[in-house]
A and B are shown apart, each in its own frame.
Chain A
């Protein structure tokens, strides 16, 4: 746990970078420090590992006042990753990752095992090859992975990250964010993460601390921040499309229809017509005997002699959703497709549910209703 109490930083020369911040980051929580450049978020981060000395206030890490610890010891217990990465160019990937373990005096065998574990965790495979490489022999994305692996080197409980994905191309950045989320679910570190990117903050954070001119403006979960902005600054910062951003926070699984909504390919057209009438739908997904999604049948295509099977009238269909997909992506897929329906399948292409526009609007309305209620209450 990290606790900042009335933390202030005045730089020599009189610039007030941080002004009386009080903030608690709980064990295993992912806290994003968000704000425009110059708002003091990086300074706040660097005060936690004493790269920047604080002017007044107290910071405790794991219940201990950081001023009472030796700076080097404190830092060895806290992982640190920065945008510029700062890999040691004269050391191999393995040596880079083993930096803190070496400072802590771990034995060679233990260091080596840890390096291998981390390379595997961050997807730098084949491990044996990456071990020996030098930073100059890596791509930007790979370097950033090594940077994160190095921060995790000695398995610290706390991780400080200063825009670690800021300098990477958007596609690689998305992928690294996804992977980091996956890793974080596994390792459950207490993370303080600096960014100026609202999308990144919403995607990664359990909590977001929005800062402006050295002050903490709002500290809330991403959905609270979107639903109940504390003031005009927050409203402006999260943007007028906050409803669309909120879609990102809900997964398809939460709103999909998972009832019996499909017909089998060996059903007769008559059975399909009956099913459409019963379910009041003009399109139905078709699955095979094994539950695999095959395509759609529409009301027009099921007209015909009852002896014909549904399987002969299938409209094949390529756009599929997955249960873990956020709603913003699902919406995009639905807009692309003509049917306004998104079949949701598992990894084996087995149909598990269905999302329709109606369903999506309904869930959006719920968010609004909750929001109105939330804004009404104190």
Chain B
């Protein structure tokens, strides 16, 4: 309850900041982004985030799943190292590399962000599947479930809380990183921030940054609700900090 209140206040503050900066109209020589442009940028931003997240989920869950299989488990530390290193590369550099490889624009931004936010999903999927109680798996096998049946009916549902936590982490990460996409002409709120930075205009930077933060908070809360529904009832419990891992 108290948490909801804080989130609400924070969100209200960010929205007020957005409205205020937009209402400034002109600051010195420069014109702030008009409301229509701001809304368009917000929509683009959301699009980038959702598409990149979709890519990350579509690739991350299967990768985590394959790594958790017994014959691949030896490869898990290697891949986890690789994805960890990938995350230490600054977003800026990663987006830059992909824009060189795939050209400027939306497509390379989405792929770069997808790769960048893969890690939490892969890691949590892997952890969720590996940490399933061995007794539960043995019981499943002993009762005559086939390997795919054990995966879909037992292991995946049991891993669901962790997988959902991974998706949440990765989405929040994505919202922030997507701002960089503005740099390679993919649009979004990043474009407003970049313009503000190059004009040395704090108000314009805030005009882009405040709605970005608001978006991250709202998506996180939304996913928390969705995740609550996706997790089987018998497993529902408050998430702990360690469920989210390092980010």
Contact = CB atoms under 8 A, between A and B. Distances in A.
Contact of B144 (A87, A89, A100, A134): A100
A190 interface: no
Given A51-B138, A82-B138, A90 B157 contact: yes
A76 interface: yes
Choose among A86, A100, A134 the residue with the greatest number of B CB atoms under 10 Å from its CB.
Answer: A86
Given A89-B235, A92-B234, A135-B234, A74 B136 contact: no
Interface size class of A (residues with CB under 8 A): 20 to 34
Given A88-B154, A89-B158, A90-B232, A72 B135 contact: no
B215 to A, nearest CB: 32
A80 B143 contact: yes
A95 to B, nearest CB: 9
Given A82-B135, A82-B138, A87-B136, A99 B234 contact: no
B226 interface: no
A82 B133 CA distance: 13
Given A89-B235, A90-B234, A91-B234, A72 B139 contact: no
Interface residues of B, number: 22
B143 A134 contact: no
B35 to A, nearest CB: 47
B146 A84 contact: no
Interface in B114-157: 133, 135-146, 149, 154, 157
A90 B143 CA distance: 17
Given A85-B139, A88-B136, A75 B144 contact: yes
Contact of A136 (B139, B143, B146, B234): B234
Nearest to B137: A86
A49 interface: yes
B136 A103 contact: no
A86 B144 contact: no
A51 B154 contact: no
Contacts of B149: 103
A72 B160 CA distance: 26
B233 interface: yes
Contacts of A134: 233-234
Contacts of B138: 51, 82, 84, 86
A80 B140 CA distance: 10
A159 to B, nearest CB: 12
Contacts of A77: 144
Interface in A133-150: 134-136, 150
B234 A49 contact: no
Nearest to A135: B234
A73 interface: yes
B136 to A, nearest CB: 5
A76 B139 contact: no
Contacts of B158: 89-90
Interface string A256-277: 0000000000000000000000
A160 to B, nearest CB: 8
Nearest to A86: B139
5 contacts: A51-B138, A51-B142, A75-B142, A89-B136, A90-B233
Q: 9 closest Cβ contacts across the A-B interface? A: A86-B139, A84-B135, A75-B144, A76-B144, A134-B234, A90-B232, A80-B142, A86-B135, A90-B157
Interface of A: 49, 51, 71-77, 80, 82, 84-92, 99-100, 103, 134-136, 150, 153, 160
